[in-house]
Structure 1
Amino acid sequence: MLSIIISSYQPSYFNVLEKNIKITCGVPYEIIRIKNPNLMGICQAYNLGASKSKYNNLLFVHEDVIFHTQNWGEILINYLNDEQLGVVGIAGSNYVPFVPSNWWVNARKSKLHIIQSNKNERVKVHTRTNFEDNRFFEYVYSLDGVFMACRKDVYKQFKFNDKIKGFHAYDVDFSLRIATDYKNIVTGEILIEHFSEGNADKVWFQEMIKARRFYKLPKNQKNNKEIELRSYKTFLLQFKIFNITKGQQFFLALKYLSLSKVGFVNVLKLIYSKIK
């Protein structure tokens, strides 16, 4: 049995999804719709929805999706019966850099099983990770918030962070805090289609920076200097893209420059490239 929690502000998308769930879910379920036309942040909306839930398995999902997999609810519950698992998603990453960033930090570390539609041109891109060892899932740390499922006991330990007020960074924060005690996965057995590509704008960038103070890097993650350096360069580049003030640039550049992560030689090369 499954409680499906949706922060909703687009009735046309919600109505389509509601009908789609009815014919695809395959297990008893309830839909908890939190009507949220920018009245509250998504963390507050999801926590409110979870407080109304009656089932032990929770799914937090965007409303601008449809499911292509039949009986996906049964597949999901079978995963959640494993007490070692924390969050089940359909897109995520098995590397988390030191700098503030979203889950898609590195293409080689990203794991996805999703149809991503461009809502303007209706172009569909089906992205499927080649799962290792003939498994139907991959272990990850951070997850995309379009689809995140967990048991209620896991949710109650961590909940969504009410200090995150908007609609960005909540997924990285939630999944990474859970990853300290549980294993998160991306499944290749559930396929959804998502009708929005998101908006990585200045608000998103600022929210990622704010959220960074709430989560820690995975303890068992092996440091990758190449990814760390690339992530740091991308972080600096976003200062110019989003017109961050000089004072903030200097503060943030120093705060998130880790010699141990990036490597001393790489830092010297980076400094030299900036001053030559």
Structure 2
Amino acid sequence: MRHAWMPASPCGPSCLGGQEPTVGRPLRTLRVVAVVVVVFLSLLSLPLLAVIARMGRTWLTRATFRAVLLVMGVRLAVHGEIPGPGRGALVVNNHTSWLDIVAVNAVRPMRAVAKKDIASWPVLGWLVSAARSVYVDRENIRSLPATVTTLADALRGGAMVNLCPEGTTWCGLTHGRFRPAMFQAAIDGGVPVLPVALRFRLRDGAATTAPAFIGDETIVESVLRTAALRGLVLEVHVLAEIAPGRADGRRELALLAERAVDDVLAPAENHWTSSPVEVAP
């Protein structure tokens, strides 16, 4: 049931690219098969995650997500550094593709806030649940306070949690406003907010919307279109933390994070030519 709180995006099939360079059909097929194998192997490793030490879990999780990028032909360019474990933080980013959560966890594995229906997705839903995601029921606005409380408890307990505050995906050339509700959890938990800007481009620097997961398409359609791309680069820009107490309420906190991401996504020449600290794989 749709209500005023339900996130909505104007982006649809007309926003998607169509002139990007592509690879041949054999390589597309190989990429899809390889990503299925990686996901299958990650499922087999779930029991192992329960018994190995935290550093081992972090290494294995990061390796899995980096393997997804590798087999899909996606080059990850990281600008900045996400702090290591030891204290809680709410990591927020713009939302374009299913690759967003892959990229963030390829840099630093963490828990996530995910829409409730992902839990029922085959394979991917199992992985998201195994990562101890905090689920939000977007169709039931009355469940929001309890979800915020659960998230605040996780942050207060030292967890780093990833949130896409737009609540839905956009094409990447623009993004939606950061909805403030979940930012209350960072305030209640007394933790910083860490904005992260994600941007897709081709190897020659041209922006692309082809990896976007928008409209009514299925996850399979999005994966197949992404697997066909040649020279896809996903930039991860880790920005300055917003310290607890800096904002006067969740609305201002959301606005500060949104403006930080806007500054990177703006079409400024220096953003396209800056050198990443890390490039992987």
- Compute the TM-score of the two structures, normalised by the length of structure 2: 0.26
- Which is strand-richer, 1 or 2? 1
- Compute the TM-score of the two structures, normalised by the length of structure 1: 0.27
Point out which structure has higher relative CO (alpha carbons under 8 A, 6+ apart): 2
Name the larger-Rg structure. 1
